[in-house]
Amino acid sequence: MPVHATAALAHPISAAVEATAWDDALIRRYDTSGPRYTSYPTALSFHDQFTADDMTQALERSNASQKPLSLYVHVPFCRKICFYCACNKIATKNTALAEPYLSRLDREMVLTSRHLDTKRPVQQLHWGGGTPTFLTLAQMSDLIDRLDARFGLSSAPDRDYAIEIDPREADVFTLRHLQSLGFNRLSLGVQDLNPQVQAAINRVQPRVLTETLMDEAHRLGFRSLNLDLIYGLPFQTEQSFADTLSQVIELSPARLSVFNYAHMPTRFAPQRRINEADLPSADEKLAILRTTIEMLTQAGYVHIGMDHFARPEDSLA
């Protein structure tokens, strides 16, 4: 383990962590797995009484503000399933299966855009998944063209166009193409850099893949890079995750998302491949979280809240 990671664990909790409202008893009391815990409104706010007419009226009412649009596009395809995943996804290596999905997606764009003022540009765009980079370069171009035709994409330099990347299947040609389509932010899935943890979650991804892609993205001039990490995965310990954090700090991404793994195998089938006995205890997860906040704030990151961190110079901070 790098020296600075060990030192971070040996010292008392930093002032930054102490400044965080921290109640061990309260955290243990609510130690319950739940998906999408960072969503707002929360899942409890959603109900089946919201009709198509309600949706139409909400879209049309939004035109009064004349604010730019923010769009999220879900690409549900993955070549390989990660065992921790709770997202809506389809496992396949056949990119042709994306064609009917893209056609249906375009139909949804038509139905939605007819209720929106076409003068409102798309200021924020995010492609998530699944794995958006599952699509071929031609399919990515087609999807961008459809979005532009239905909504009108922005060319403003301050637009935020982000896409989630799997470093195992993207290269410099992928990044160049994404840049040509208007994307200026990237989010790279990492989760953990420990080989034992990676094997346990079916996501073997050596650091060099992430580092190479980040270097290329910086060289091409992407505005901001985010790395996703997950704590609470099998075989993770406070020390092992500190080692991952040390390596991530060396990579110096502009943003970090450090998610809490929610183990719900009865709801999400891939999670049944994870042995519960290999998961860290609630106390170990709590120690990992405290160490995460300490190490990242000591490294200069601003703790935005919940599970997000950003460099002071990043717009998120």
User: Cα separation of 222 and 216, whole Å?
Assistant: 9
In a domain, 283, yes or no: yes
- Specify whether the CB–CB gap between 227 and 253 falls below 8 A: yes
Pair of tokens at residue 93: 């290596």
Helix (H) or strand (E) holding 227: strand 224-231
User: Cα separation of 143 and 153, whole Å?
Assistant: 12
User: Cα separation of 316 and 63, whole Å?
Assistant: 26
In a domain, 109, yes or no: yes
Provide the pLDDT for residue 25: 76
- The model's pLDDT over 214-272, given as tens digits with 9 standing for 90+, comes to 999 999 999 999 999 999 999 999 999 999 999 999 999 999 999 999 999 999 999 99
Provide the pLDDT for residue 88: 87
User: Cα separation of 112 and 115, whole Å?
Assistant: 6
pLDDT band at 3 (very low <50, low <70, confident <90, very high): very low
- The model's pLDDT over 165-195, given as tens digits with 9 standing for 90+, comes to 999 999 999 999 999 999 999 999 999 999 9
Chain-centroid distance, C-alpha 253: 13
Provide the pLDDT for residue 37: 60
Pair of tokens at residue 204: 């073997």
pLDDT band at 118 (very low <50, low <70, confident <90, very high): confident
The Cα-based distances of 244 to 77, 118, 187, 228, 230 in angstroms read 28, 46, 17, 12, 11
In a domain, 55, yes or no: no
- Specify whether the CB–CB gap between 123 and 69 falls below 8 A: yes
User: Cα separation of 123 and 204, whole Å?
Assistant: 35
pLDDT band at 135 (very low <50, low <70, confident <90, very high): very high
- The model's pLDDT over 13-54, given as tens digits with 9 standing for 90+, comes to 344 444 456 677 777 777 666 556 667 777 778 889 999 999
Q: Is the dihedral of CA 74, 179, 143, 136 positive or negative?
A: negative
The closest of 222, 227, 216 to 250, measured between CA atoms, is 227
Number of domains making up the chain: 1
- The contacts of residue 107 (CB under 8 Å, 6+ apart) are none
Q: Kindly report the CATH number assigned to the domain that includes residue 218.
A: 3.20.20.70
Task: State the helix-helix crossing angle for 137-151 and 98-113, rounded to 10 degrees.
Answer: 10
pLDDT at residue 102 greater than cutoff 90: yes
In a domain, 118, yes or no: yes
Instruction: Give percent of the chain with pLDDT exceeding 70.
Output: 90
Average pLDDT, rounded, for the chain: 90
Residue 285 is part of which domain span?
A: 3-19+69-310
pLDDT band at 6 (very low <50, low <70, confident <90, very high): very low
Provide the pLDDT for residue 219: 97
Provide the pLDDT for residue 17: 46
In a domain, 111, yes or no: yes
Provide the pLDDT for residue 15: 45
Provide the pLDDT for residue 226: 98
pLDDT band at 87 (very low <50, low <70, confident <90, very high): confident
In a domain, 52, yes or no: no
- For the stretch 105-111, contacts whose Cβ atoms lie closer than 8 Å and that sit 24 or more positions apart, written own/partner, are 105/73, 105/143, 105/146, 106/146, 106/150, 109/146, 109/147, 109/150, 109/151, 110/150
In a domain, 60, yes or no: no
Cis peptide before 130 (omega within 30 of 0): yes
Instruction: Give percent of the chain with pLDDT exceeding 90.
Output: 81
The SS3 assignment for 75 reads strand
In a domain, 46, yes or no: no
Chain-centroid distance, C-alpha 203: 15
User: Cα separation of 136 and 140, whole Å?
Assistant: 6
User: Cα separation of 96 and 99, whole Å?
Assistant: 6
Q: What angle do CA 146, 148, 150 make, to 5 degrees?
A: 70
The SS3 assignment for 160 reads strand
